[in-house]
Structure 1
Amino acid sequence: MCAPVAERMSKHMMDVITSDMESKLLSISDQEMDLFSTPYLAQSILVGGFIERLANKQPCLQLTLTHISLDAYRIHTIKEIDALHTLIDMNISNITSMDAQFHHTFQQELASNRVQEIISQSRESLSYLKLKYTGQLDLHGFKLKYLSCEYGAYLSNLDCTYMRSCSITSQERILQSMSFTGKNITHLQLWLGESIDRLCAAFPNLTSLHTLILQGRNLRVALLYCLPESIRKVVYRGGNVSFKDVKSMVEWSKSRDACVRCVLLDCRITAKLTTCNWMKQQDGIDITQCEFKEYGISKDWFISVSWSTILSK
Structure 2
Amino acid sequence: MILQSPRRAGMVIAPTLCAILSLVTPTHAVTHLKRGDAAPVITLTGLDGSTVSPTTQDERPVVLLFGELYHERSVEAAQVLQRLTAESGMADLSPFCIMIVTQPSPAAELRQLARERRIQLPIVHDVDRRASTAYRVSVLPSVIVVDAQRRIVLASAGLFTRSADAFRSAILAAGGRFSPAGLDAALHPTSVPAVSDARSRAERLVILAGQLARSGMPELAQDKYREAMKADPSFAAPRIGLGRLALRRRDWVDAETHFQSVAALDEQAPEAILGLAAVELARGAAELPKAEQRIRGYLASHPADAEAYFLLGEVCDQSGRFQEAAASYRRAAELFEARCNGQK
Q: TM-score, normalized by length of structure 1?
A: 0.35
Q: TM-score, normalized by length of structure 2?
A: 0.33
Give the structure with the higher percent strand: 1
Give the structure with the higher percent helix: 2
Find the structure with the greater CA-based Rg. Answer: 2
